[in-house]
Amino acid sequence: MLEKKQFFPEQEKGGSMSETILNIGWAIVFMLIGGFVGLGLMLISSWVLPRVIARHTPNIDEQKEILRGNMAVAEYFGRIVSTAILGVSIIVAAAVAGGVIAALH
C-alpha cells in the first residue's frame, strides 16, 4: 500500500502554508522595524554630520559661506553629507535584507 508521504512531499520538508504565512509576517515585521531604525539613523546622521564638519573647520562658517554663494564650500559640504547618508543607507539596507532573509528561512 502507498504511504502518505509519497502523496504529500511538502509535509516531509516541513513546508506548510501556515508556516509560510508566519515567515512572511515576520519578514514584514523585520522590514518595518529596519525601516524605522533606518529612518532614525538617517535623521540622526543628517543632524550630527554638519556639526562634526563644523568642528573640524572652526575658522569657516559653512552656512554663512553657502549663503554668500561660495560654491566650493557648498559642493564640499554637500558631497560629504551625501556620502555619509549613502553610507548609512547601505548599512541599513544590508541589515533589513539580512532580517528578511532570516525571517524567510
Reported as a single tens digit per residue, the pLDDT across 3-60 is 555 555 555 555 678 888 888 888 888 888 888 888 888 888 888 888 888 888 888 8
- Spatial distance between the Cα atoms of 21 and 95, rounded to a whole number of angstroms: 22
Give the pLDDT of residue 89.
Answer: 84
39's enclosing H/E stretch is helix 17-56
CB atoms within 10 A of CB 85: 15
Q: Is 15 left (phi over 0), alpha (psi -120 to 50) or beta?
A: beta
Give the pLDDT of residue 71.
Answer: 92
- Spatial distance between the Cα atoms of 49 and 76, rounded to a whole number of angstroms: 13
Average pLDDT rounded to a whole number, residues 68-93: 87
Give the pLDDT of residue 40.
Answer: 87
- Spatial distance between the Cα atoms of 60 and 77, rounded to a whole number of angstroms: 12
